[in-house]
Structure 1
């Protein structure tokens, strides 16, 4: 007699940089019974480091190494981990390490392979350190580009979500002059569409989207800038609107974020990194979640870094990782 398949999606949880707070936020998110209610979290990381993190947090949890999701128990009080054994046992906390950077790269690779084989339905990532990643021989600006590489996807978008506002970026990890040069109507339209579909997947059938301008006052009719709003942004908005998407703009960024924070828009489209990240970090970084949109599977992440200054002390705030895991489960389980 065959058993009933478990409907809970498997979430591959990457531990991030072992010298940072990644092990602690991973353990901190998985010590609660609620982490297993709707999903099946499987950590890809270092079992020894996770045990050290549990000690730092004062968490009573059993860390068990498994070979695959089929070997995992997915029960409260136990953390199942796929461990490729890449970290030295005496890795110091809070220091840039090539070994930790390489290991973080490999954790993401393994998670993508699990998802590609259908053994995981979502990925949730703890923070990695870009300097350590580069020291380990992997020249990627961050998680977003690394995930796109492993999945063979040419273009993805970064979406930041907080209880008060959601933001998706047209450009992210490039310099400001390069960002302005890179923005064009097709990219704006595709970003709007990815954000629209992500919100629909999260249960919003008709998202209201506000799209930022590049220049102050949206160019003030040509007074500021060189017509970027009319040339680079407006045609992309018009194309999205022609397909029934409720997108408005280009809006002055200060106005767009005020209205978004007030609830007039379900999503704000930012043109470059700091235009979107600044307001998000003011309006709710503690519970902020980073979502990569455009991959074959959903990927969520904390909206903070490796926090080397407090790594290994047990003082890290785990709320963002708890929310990242919750949203990974929710979005993985909700069909488009």
Structure 2
């Protein structure tokens, strides 16, 4: 490949830290060394961020990817048109912010599906703002699934040696327990196997978490582990995968953090997210803020590449200029690696 991959990066919710971390990331020469980045959103929102935070850079609005210049310090923005900035306030839920964030995501999906960009990276959105704007999706993953017509997909979180995929995500805990079914678990194991290979991970040993305490303790604390998870693991082993489980979750993640597993399967959102964020999120008690929020969210099973920061909108610090771009940098790096692996495997 003669040229670096083009990465489309959404602004996230304009009332959040999304535009800030996107701008900060694109001012790093390391980003331009590995890819050709294009911001997707509203040029006047990014201009407002530059002026508010007194960032020394300029905005280059474009209406076509071919117009992008990819010059460090001159930020190419695929411009979706001006929005009313008076209707958007840092740290506040609003229809205007939710609508702008949604349309940026929809556009970057279209660009990827049309082959205009090689991979996509998403900034954080606010689910309430999206919903109030009339877009009934619980998160990015579901938006991508809908507009790419994808039925089988899963969320994979990556930070150093911790790689966690989820059987379910944005549903209630009661619903999550009902979704622990053999076929879905096997499907997610297969998606994880493909994800590990795409990321170039050498250790393909997969650990599968139990649902209940002590993985059910032979049915004493629930039957799902014996009736749904264990059969799924057995089927995966028959397919030739190196899979172990169900493993009690309170021991699985400590082993995963050491690199014993190449990846692990969590049964529901918080079971995977809490130990994952203990790895990548570093709270500073003196400053009363995060020093670092590392972690990449990758949607497996899509026909296009999508990575994202694995943190929220951080409304409490939006507009203050103190947000860390660490997770955005990692998301761009992961998207670039996946794009290169895809290109070279064709």
- Is the shorter-chain TM-score for this pair beyond 0.5, marking a shared fold? yes
Displaced runs of 4 or more, over 4 A: none
2:119 aligned with 1:112: no
Query: In the aligned structure 1, how far is the partner of 2:189 from the partner of 2:247?
Result: 14
Aligned to 1:124: 121
Deviation of 1:207 after TM superposition, in Å, equals 1.0
Aligned to 2:290: none
2:171 aligned with 1:174: yes
Aligned to 1:234: 230
Question: Do 1:202 and 1:330's aligned partners in 2 also have CA atoms closer than 8 Å?
Answer: yes
Q: Deviations over 1:208-232 (max 9, x none)?
A: 110000011111112111x111211
**Correspondence 1:139-288 to 2 at 5 A:** 139-225=136-222, 227-285=223-281, 286-288=293-295
Query: TM-score, with normalisation over the residues of structure 1?
Result: 0.95
2:304 aligned with 1:307: no
2:41 aligned with 1:45: yes
Aligned to 2:28: 32
Unpaired runs of 5+ in structure 1? none
Query: In the aligned structure 1, how far is the partner of 2:102 from the partner of 2:266?
Result: 28
Q: Deviations over 1:251-301 (max 9, x none)?
A: 000111010012111111100011000101111132111111111112111
Change (3 A) 1:85 1:260: same
RMSD: 1.3
Higher mean C-alpha displacement, 229-238 vs 51-60 = 51-60
Q: Which of 7, 13, 18 matches 1:11?
A: 7
**Correspondence 1:291-330 to 2 at 5 A:** 291-330=298-337
Deviation of 1:57 after TM superposition, in Å, equals 4.2
Question: Do 1:45 and 1:83's aligned partners in 2 also have CA atoms closer than 8 Å?
Answer: yes
Query: TM-score, with normalisation over the residues of structure 2?
Result: 0.93
Question: Do 1:297 and 1:332's aligned partners in 2 also have CA atoms closer than 8 Å?
Answer: no
